Amino acid sequence: METLVLIVFFVVYLGMILGEIPGLALDRTGIALLGAIVLIATGCVEPQEAWQAVDVPTIGLLFGLMVVSAQFRLGGFYSRFTHWLSGLSVSPSMLLALVIGAAGLLSAVLCNDIVCLAMAPVLVDGCARRRLNPLPFLLALACAANVGSAATLIGNPQNMLIGQMLQLSFASYLLEALPPAALGLVAVWWVIRRQAGGNWRRETVVPSFDEPRFDRWQTAKGFVVLVVLMTVFVMDSLPREIAALGAAGILLTSRRMASRAMLQLVDWQLLVLFGGLFIVNHAMAEAGNTERLFAAVRSGGIDPSQPTMLFVTSVVLSNLVSNVPATMLLLPSAHHPLAGAVLALSSTLAGNLLVVGSIANIIVIDQAAQLGQRITWRDHAKVGIPVTLITLAIAAAWLILLTWMQGLAAAHDGWNMVG
């Protein structure tokens, strides 16, 4: 049984690296689900045990926040806001800064994937009407969505997972992650502005696409729920998953916005991916394979429980298997007081390095392609690589400073006790 669990684990994570199993029409979600099915069907994991292995609070938080973000999409807020933003009478450089700031802020409090999905086509339209090259603005949207989402425990799926599994305080994490995220957004603007080199203009055809009609009431309703939800998160007055599910329930209770339409915007593929990986990783841990695997890694001089090594390992794994599977794999080693911030910042910021490093990147590129705007791997790499290196350097420097400050505080407390 232990051998079979180990084989399934390695096949699943190899699939996470390749994005598929050669010869089969399986993506990462299908591979994770198939791995869980094999473990249950062979008796390595009992059905009840498999259900208990799935962290329901994390799934509930993800689902609830996806519904909240869907409210803004269907209410037409993203489209109306992006039209307004792209129509401002400002220079291209200032417009770039505004797009980055808006994408970063929205991604910090709403699901960054839906932000990219909703804003990308409208941004192409706005650039075409202003005779601007859409490429730098689309790359800015993708990079800023990733960087901005690192600022909170609800900005992206891996941060939600880290916050839930490590029981992190929403407000404490915000204080730890906001400075490097904010500086990271400035870095995104600086890199793309330099890449553009003043060559902002390009004639493009104004695209035709379907977009939801702006509904003032539904948008206002969404903002009221979001403000209350953020207040609850900051005050830690309720478990986050309960608050998010309650918010989703309120928004689904609508006379005009069909629940079917809202649920269609929920990323069920991601939820299934989480469920499959929870079961596969649980089977590894129960068989004792996880501890043996980490012992072998530590014997090779790599100890992910140390903040520096956790940071580096997270960056590497996030670009091999993507950030959600990497985070799940490394969470058992997250014991340091700053491990949550280290893992969240490194796994999220690493997502800008390659196109496949983040779903946000893929969404922006796919949306652009549907409107006739081609973004190549090289186009992305010219921006993504320097943005990733700079933002990771900022995050690393900030985390080192935090570690030093914590050391000083601990030494001060020690002297007070001696006194």
Residue 153 pLDDT: 94
Query: What angle in degrees, to the nearest 10, is found between the helix axes of 377-418 and 339-349?
Result: 170
Number of other residues whose CB lies within 10 A of the CB of residue 93: 15
Mean pLDDT of 122-138: 91
Q: Is the pLDDT of residue 414 over 80?
A: no
Asked whether residue 410 carries a pLDDT value surpassing 80, the answer given is no
What integer pLDDT is reported at residue 298 of this predicted model?
82
pLDDT of the residue at 135: 93
Highest mean pLDDT among 39-53, 289-303, 357-371 belongs to 39-53
pLDDT of res. 77: 93
Mean pLDDT lowest among 19-23, 130-134, 305-309: 19-23
- What is the structure's pLDDT at 243? 95
Q: How far is CA 257 from CA 92, 263, 287, in A?
A: 37, 11, 47
Residue 417 has a pLDDT of 47
Would you state the pLDDT for residue 418?
Answer: 45
User: What is the tens place of the pLDDT at every residue in 66-121?
Assistant: 999 999 989 999 999 999 998 899 999 999 999 999 999 999 998 888 889 889 99
Q: Compute, in degrees rounded to 10, the torsion defined by CA atoms 27, 29, 30, 36.
A: 140
What domain range is 184 assigned to?
2-418
Residue 401 has pLDDT above 50, yes or no: yes
Domain count, the chain: 1
pLDDT band at 175 (very low <50, low <70, confident <90, very high): very high
- pLDDT category at 409 given cuts 50, 70, 90 is low
Q: Is the pLDDT of residue 412 over 80?
A: no
The first and second tokens of residue 194, run together, are: 């330099």
Which pTM does this prediction carry? 0.89
Average pLDDT, integer, range 166-180: 95
Q: What is the pLDDT of residue 159?
A: 93
pLDDT in tens, 183-238: 999 999 999 999 988 788 877 776 667 788 899 999 999 999 999 999 999 998 88
Our CA dihedral for 171, 225, 111, 96, rounded to 10 degrees, sits at: -90
Give the tens place of pLDDT for each residue, 342-394. 999 999 999 999 887 888 888 898 888 888 888 888 999 999 999 999 999 99
The residue-averaged pLDDT of 313-330 equals 88
pLDDT at 247: 96
The neighbouring-strand residues paired with 201 are 132
pLDDT category of residue 411 using cuts at 50, 70 and 90? low
Percentage, residues of the chain above pLDDT 90: 57
